[in-house]
Chain A
Amino acid sequence: MNDDIYQTELLRLAADAAGAGRLPSPDGTATVDNPLCGDRVTLDVKLSGGKIAAIGHDVRACLLCQASASVIGRHAAGRDAGELQRVMTAVAELLKKPAETTALPWPELAAFAPVAQHRSRHACVLLPFRALTQAVEAAAAKPN
């Protein structure tokens, strides 16, 4: 396996920046920081019938974080909180045990497998997922 983190697919995901940009009137917003490096992700969601209708993000962070947010931007729409939690768990497992991960909910997540051997960078991949979780929670808690 090529253990270089910065392979073509990851660079392409980051450049693609799916979902980049803030939503005008989100139902929920979360801003999370990586205290190790000062990186910051702000993520907006709109919900419809308990599922994500739209997503937008502002990522001031490294390529890993940008690529992770981009994968979320591609796939999060139409998912509910339970599905998103399962995806985040799958990403965390991929980073812990890449050799034991056989199926990923979103195929692009495979681009993060080489990150597994760099423990200090796991938080970079997970930061947008933490923002997503918190934004969905904020939206769910919002009074109708």
Chain B
Amino acid sequence: MSFDVAAIRRQFPILATQVHGHALHYLDNGATSQVPQAVLDAVVAHETKARANVLRSVHYLAEAATEAYEAARGKLARYLNAASSDEIIFTSGCTAAINLVAYSFGATLSAGDEVLISELEHHSNIVPWQLLRDRRGVVLKALPVTDEGRLDLGALDRLVGKRTRLIAVTHASNVTGAETDVARVVAAARAHGAKVLLDGAQRAPHGPVDLRSLGVDFYALAGHKMHGPNGVGVLWGRADLLASMPPFLGGGEMIRQVTLAKTTYADPPHRFEAGTPPIAQAVGLGVAADWIAALDLEAAHAHLSGLTGRLLDGLGAIGRSRLRVIGPNGLQARLPIVSFAVAGAHPHDICQMLDRHGVALRGGHHCAQPLMERFGVTGTTRASLVCYNDASDIDALLGGLDDALGRLKR
């Protein structure tokens, strides 16, 4: 059965927006994806029927809010195949989740211990580790990237050793779309007793992740990229690791007992959820996770693979002398994310011109400046697709690009 993208699109009210007299062609899902009516309804229902703080008061609304919040934790645990919902920590986003690990797991590291990242990472999986390096004297190393925009895992043997404590890499690149061969990363880490963190910001929106099968130790994701609300993300961590880590932020809810002399801390996950959490956002994210999981994911993958191929073919027709795809040219082991650089045409100019056609793209360094340097560009233009995109989006992009490049020809 073919994938009924029209039925999917009808669930996203914002996709009916007209932009400069054109239908909206939203291809900036890698930055933020849109929210289906089911999630909007869930957030409104929570705020109108169960709004209260969680894990504090005992009145009716507080109980309802706590129930909804913890139920959302359970939904995310199922989405990630976590051993327990206690391994799910709600954060303000993916960046906060990685910073939490860098601070709290980082506090267990010593000067001279090594953390391995890569040239492919988003700044949110680079800067927290640089801060840790500067704070504790940890040695930071980076995996190189192949010409195809993939992690060069052949360098693992050289870069992973007895002082390696953590490998923190992306599950799939926000620029090239390349998916990481997690098994090889985990094998290299395990050989030396190191842990593995995956930045799942781009991969998580495309379907449930079987973390127990992947064998990693930490996983971070962003709610707003997986059809959920802004302001919420998730850190998953193995229970034993979380239990061994000190808190990140201090405040209410994360304590067991406070005296003026000393504080003892709650068990995970609450140890890492200081203050009032993003409650309605977490509820919405839980519904978003269920919504994605209910899709025919095999059909969705085939649909998106077809669109990615259509886009790559169209870009190829422009000619390699002028346009360069930064990332894999094939369809294997990749997400529907395509970045490209055009000689003599700045990504922001391209994106601005395509906006006039109703096409929403992202231009710039994508918070991945080391990767831009690796490929000798200051920025790229990126199209990032999810299940509601269709052939008209790709055709509008290619038509608009043709128009833009004609205007930019000097």
Contacts and interface: CB of A to CB of B under 8 A. Distances in A.
B372 interface: yes
A60 B410 contact: no
Interface in B353-407: 353, 356, 363-365, 369, 372, 378-379, 407
A38 B352 contact: no
B347 interface: yes
Interface residues of A, number: 19
A39 B372 CA distance: 12
Contacts of B365: 37-38
B136 interface: no
B378 to A, nearest CB: 5
Contact of A38 (B349, B356, B372, B408): B372
Contacts of A40: 378
B356 A63 contact: no
Interface size range on B against A = 10 to 19
Nearest to A39: B378
A34 to B, nearest CB: 9
Given A15-B410, A38-B379, A63 B349 contact: yes
B380 to A, nearest CB: 10
Nearest to A12: B410
Contacts of B348: 37, 62, 64, 121, 124
A36 B347 CA distance: 12
B356 A37 contact: no
B352 A37 contact: no
A6 B378 contact: no
Contacts of B363: 37
Nearest to B353: A6
A63 B364 contact: no
B346 interface: yes
Contacts of B369: 38
Given A38-B369, A40-B378, A4 B356 contact: yes
A112 to B, nearest CB: 13
A32 interface: no
A142 interface: no
A37 B364 contact: yes
Contacts of B349: 6, 62-64
A5 B350 CA distance: 12
Q: Give the interface centre of A4, A38, A61, A121 by most chain B CB atoms within 10 Å.
A: A38
25 contacts: A5-B352, A6-B349, A11-B407, A15-B410, A37-B348, A37-B379, A38-B364, A38-B365, A38-B372, A38-B378, A38-B379, A39-B346, A39-B378, A39-B379, A40-B378, A60-B378, A62-B346, A62-B348, A62-B349, A63-B346, A63-B349, A64-B349, A118-B352, A121-B348, A121-B352
Given A6-B349, A63-B408, 18 more contacts: A6-B352, A6-B353, A11-B407, A11-B410, A37-B348, A37-B363, A37-B378, A38-B365, A38-B369, A39-B379, A40-B378, A61-B346, A62-B349, A63-B346, A63-B349, A64-B348, A118-B352, A124-B348
